[in-house]
């Protein structure tokens, strides 16, 4: 009897290991395409190796493309990390914030408010795109209640009916038929992926100037949804509980359009709860953004040159407003960040060479 039990246990253990190995192999690696899919995962190793940060950014591409933690360190000695992901929705931002507090308690939590425009999972696009974005935020999260709740919050009613949440908890259920799509990248990064970002900042060195202003159709209703306000309330309460300053920002991206009516609602909210809200679209000149040279996609996002300008400006605001410490006098931390700066500069040089080569080829 005991022998049979041991055999069954051993079989189950082997089975689980095989399933885990298959899952690791079959999941997309995001190393050469859609690198955004790696951003959330990189945080855990960085925290475990290098410890906590004074500032954490949470949000969509408007944080991971527009702010450079390396510049914040070099200019002000601020330690920071960007927990950003592509089209990160406000309910996902909340649970990522909640999860972050399980690891560390930053002095400042920066949240980019663009995602207030999406009220429900179903409002965020067609099913395939929605799932692809969800995957890039949720799949890399480590198992926790925050992840489970994030999955639940990200499901449409139809997906919930189909119990799609289990495919997020156990991605092999989703990717089991990806055999025919496997490439060399899947085997190369089967167990360990490389770092694609610098403390969550995804560098771009290309230049594609703004030629014409971005326009969007006027909306029928500019009111943010109750569900979004609820998540913003929960973020505020979470930060209050941990003694962390919640800072609301609107990055200086020109598209999607940030309507004045939206801006007024966030301003009112910030005033009501005594929060700092900076809309950097109103500070482009002081920041020094030149839309001929500082964007790689006609104004949607900044390239590295714009992000460094943005970070110099933002760092000064942070220092002036929150009296953040300059950590550059800490020898141990300085050594860690010296390595990070070296990696950043190496990446920048490599990408600049690639950009130059691509430009010559055009």
Nearest distance, CB of residue 129 and other proteins, angstroms = 5
Nearest distance, CB of residue 36 and other proteins, angstroms = 5
- Residue 299 structure tokens: 């104004």
Nearest distance, CB of residue 38 and other proteins, angstroms = 11
Closer residue to other proteins, CB minimum distance, 159 or 245: 159
Nearest distance, CB of residue 110 and other proteins, angstroms = 18
d(CA 236, CA 232): 6
Nearest distance, CB of residue 264 and other proteins, angstroms = 17
Closer residue to other proteins, CB minimum distance, 239 or 251: 251
Can you give the chain as a three-state secondary structure string? CHHHHHHHHHHHHHHHHHHHHHHHHHCCCCCCCCHHHHHHHHHHHHHHHHCCCCEEEEECHHHHCCCCHHHHHHHHCCCEEEEECCCCCHHHHHHHHHHHHHHCCCCEEEEEHHHHHCCCHHHHCCHHHHHHHHHHHHCCCCCCHHHHHHHHHHCCHHHHHCCCHHHHHCCHHHHCCCHHHCCHHHHHCCCCCCCCCECCECCCCCCCCCCCCCCCCCCCCCCCCHHHHHHHHHHHHHHHHHCCEEEEEECCCCCCCCCHHHHHHHHHHHHHCCCEEEEHHHHHHHHCCCCCCCECCCCCCECHHHHHHHHHHHHHHHHHHHCCCCHHHCHHHHHHHHHHHHHHHHHHHHHHHHHHHHHHHC
Closer residue to other proteins, CB minimum distance, 79 or 92: 92
Closer residue to other proteins, CB minimum distance, 184 or 211: 211
Closer residue to other proteins, CB minimum distance, 101 or 170: 170
d(CA 236, CA 273): 9
Nearest distance, CB of residue 31 and other proteins, angstroms = 12
Cα–Cα–Cα angle for 299, 30, 333, rounded to 5 degrees: 80
Nearest distance, CB of residue 94 and other proteins, angstroms = 19
Nearest distance, CB of residue 76 and other proteins, angstroms = 28
Q: Which residues bind other proteins (CB under 8 A)?
A: 7, 10-15, 18-19, 22, 28, 30, 33-34, 36-37, 60-61, 86-87, 125-133, 135-136, 159, 162, 164, 167, 172-178, 181, 211-215, 217-218, 220, 255, 297-298, 300
Closer residue to other proteins, CB minimum distance, 71 or 137: 137
- Comparing CA positions, the residue from 104, 111, 80 lying closest to residue 325 is 80
What residue has token string 């949240």?
111
Closer residue to other proteins, CB minimum distance, 213 or 332: 213
Nearest distance, CB of residue 146 and other proteins, angstroms = 21
Closer residue to other proteins, CB minimum distance, 67 or 337: 67
Closer residue to other proteins, CB minimum distance, 49 or 177: 177
Radius of gyration of the chain from its Cα atoms, rounded to whole angstroms: 21
């Amino acid at each position: 009897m005991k022998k049979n039990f041991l055999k069954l246990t051993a079989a189950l253990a082997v089975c689980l290991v095989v399933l885990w190995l298959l899952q690791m192999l079959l999941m997309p690696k995001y190393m050469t395409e859609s690198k955004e899919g790696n951003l959330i995962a990189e945080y855990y190793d960085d925290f475990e190796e290098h410890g906590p940060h004074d500032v954490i950014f949470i949000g969509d591409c408007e944080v991971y493309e527009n702010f450079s933690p390396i510049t914040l360190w070099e200019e002000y000695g601020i330690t920071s990390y960007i927990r950003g992901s592509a089209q990160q929705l406000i309910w996902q931002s909340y649970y990522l914030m909640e999860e972050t507090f399980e690891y560390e308690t930053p002095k400042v939590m920066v949240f980019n408010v663009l995602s207030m425009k999406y009220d429900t999972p179903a409002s965020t696009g067609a099913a395939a795109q929605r799932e692809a974005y969800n995957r890039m935020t949720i799949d890399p999260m480590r198992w926790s209640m925050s992840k489970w709740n994030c999955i639940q919050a990200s499901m449409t009613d139809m997906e919930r009916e189909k119990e799609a949440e289990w495919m997020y908890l156990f991605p092999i259920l989703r990717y089991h038929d990806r055999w025919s799509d496997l490439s060399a990248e899947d085997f190369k990064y089967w167990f360990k992926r490389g770092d694609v970002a610098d403390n969550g900042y995804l560098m771009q060195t290309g230049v594609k100037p703004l030629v014409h202003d971005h326009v969007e159709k006027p909306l029928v209703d500019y009111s943010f949804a109750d569900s979004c306000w609820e998540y913003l309330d929960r973020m505020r309460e979470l930060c209050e509980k941990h003694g962390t300053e919640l800072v609301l920002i609107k990055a200086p991206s020109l598209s999607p359009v940030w309507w004045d009516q939206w801006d007024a609602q966030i301003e009112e909210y910030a005033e009501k709860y005594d929060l700092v809200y900076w809309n950097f679209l109103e500070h482009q000149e002081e920041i020094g953004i030149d839309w001929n040279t500082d964007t790689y996609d006609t104004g949607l996002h900044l390239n590295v040159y714009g992000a460094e300008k943005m970070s110099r400006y933002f760092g000064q605001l942070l220092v002036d407003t929150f009296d953040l410490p300059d950590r550059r006098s800490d020898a141990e931390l300085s050594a860690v960040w010296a390595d990070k700066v070296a990696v950043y500069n190496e990446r920048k040089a490599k990408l600049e060479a690639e950009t130059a080569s691509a430009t010559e080829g055009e």
